[in-house]
Structures are given as C-alpha cells and as structure tokens.
Amino acid sequence: MTRRRLSPNGPEFSRLVLGTWRLLDDPVTRTADGVLALLKAGLDHGITTVDTAEIYGRYAVEAALGEALSRDPGVREKIEVISKCGIYVPYPGAPERRTAHYNATAAQVVASAEASLRLLGVEALDLLLVHRPDWLTSHEETAAGLNQLLAAGKIRAAGVSNYLASQFEALSAFVDQPLVTNQVEFSPFCVTPIHDGTFDQAQRMKFAPMAWSPLGGGRLFDPADAAGVRLRTVMAAMAARYEGAGPDALAHAWVLAHPSGPLSILGTNKPERVASSARADGISLEREDWYALWEAAQGRSVP
C-alpha cells in the first residue's frame, strides 16, 4: 500500500483509510474481536490508518475501537488514528441536549480530544479534525483549542472536515501549525470539491484532502439507484483492463486519481471488501475511463 504525507510537514498515512462510521451497524463488528479482526484485515493490505469521530455510533465507536486495541497492543503500534470533534446531537447519554448543534469552542475542542484519548486508550491522536464549521464560534477561538492540544502533544496534527475553502483559509490564519487536510465528500456521485475550490486550494497549499463516502454512501451497490446501476455497468465493461477489479476498487481508484492526491476512506466492515478495495492502490485509471465513470454517475456528458 502506497503511503502519502498529507502536507510537507504533516503525518504520513496509508493511501486508503479504514473508516468506522458504520462500525457498530454490523453484528460482527459490535464485538471487540470483530473490530480487531477488521483492523488486522486492513493491516494485512497495508491499510494502517483508521478514521473515526466522537459522534460515530452515537458516541460509542471510539470506545469500541479502544476495547479492541486493548486486546492487542501490537496492533495499536502499527496504526495511525484520526478522530473528529464538534458535532453534538441529543441521545440517551446526553439527555440535557435539546437540539443538534456544532461546538468548536476552544474548551470543547480540548475536552473532546481528551475524551477521545481516554476512550481510544492512546497517548496522542495522529490527527484531529474539526468535524464541521461551528457558525457561532470564531476561527480564532477554534484555533486556540487546536493550538493548546498541539502544544501539549495530545494531537500530532490538526485539520478539518467539511470546510469550504474560505473557511479553511480563515482557520489557517490562527493555527500555529499548518492544517494538514480537509476531509470532504467526494465520489463519482458527488463531485462538489472539484467545483467549489476545495481541491484547487489543496493543490495550491500542497495538502492532500481526504474523501468520505467514495462509494456514494452505498449508492454504488444499490440496485434501485439509477446512477449506481449505470456506474456498475460501465465498470463491468472496463474491468478487464484492470485485471478484473471490482466496482469498489474502481471507485476508490477514481478518487485516488485526482491530482490533489486524496486519501480515500473505506466504509466497509467486511474483511473481504477491505481486500477487494485495497486493489485500488495498484490501479491507474486511463483518462477516458475516469471521465466515463464521471459520465455514468452524473448521467450526462462533460460540459
């Protein structure tokens, strides 16, 4: 598995990242042994980077990961951990919350990161992302929390998720250590980062973005999704040119091909799908095939 440095002085991660958004949706990965098996499946294919967030699984995924890692310290030594903070929704564990909201105040960023460290059982996060911009907190205030964590060595790098290019620029002005990534939705179904300046900014500032939902949140395999059906049909026709690669590998390869150098986040809990997706690292899509997949997903030809 190819490794990529997110920015000139940023952390080095595997090009494909194991995502944990739906980790607790699968009965197998609701157990510590199941989670550990999934982590090991990733390592078997060189996927050493794990992406999580405090809100995942209604604030339960980090604890599940921590329990799994406690069973095999050797696995923890081989992986890099990314977490995210800043989204708070009502759930049984927080009955005082009335409304879903964002909070990226300095105090909350620090408290959330420290809670993540405890739940994951790690001394430092390799990367902390502010999950979404908090419209009621100044960028300077958010940066103060990130700066405190960086100075204390509790996080090794900081970045954001779902930020507009202008928001990234504004926060960057107040962070002592350059932000290393912006994690955004990107797939053949969702090409917004190509048009809204996100990927242009990444190339100009020389950082690698990260792509969540590279398979369209399951649309690729949904028989009722017209765009997904079109995309799988085109993928089947071109698979022979890529040694029979499956739709998941080709979708990840499509993401990886963008010149901004995105890292692509896997959303599967199944070891066999980890293996098939990992093939993307060895695929270099031909230019016309990349555009053919764009056309199939978008349902139109390029402008």
Residues taking part in catalysis: 56
DSSP secondary structure letter of residue 267: -
Residue type, 204: R
Residue with tokens 């739709």: 247
Contacts with 64 (C-beta within 8 Å, 6 or more apart), sequence order: 23, 24, 29, 30, 32, 35, 57
Classify residue 103 as left (phi > 0), alpha (psi -120 to 50) or beta.
Answer: beta
For the chain, where are the E strands, in sequence order? 3-5, 12-14, 16-19, 49-51, 80-85, 87-88, 101-102, 127-130, 158-161, 182-185, 210-212, 263-266
- Report how far residue 138's alpha carbon sits from residue 79's, in angstroms, rounded to the nearest whole number: 33
- Report how far residue 271's alpha carbon sits from residue 245's, in angstroms, rounded to the nearest whole number: 16
Both tokens of 26, joined, read: 């699968």
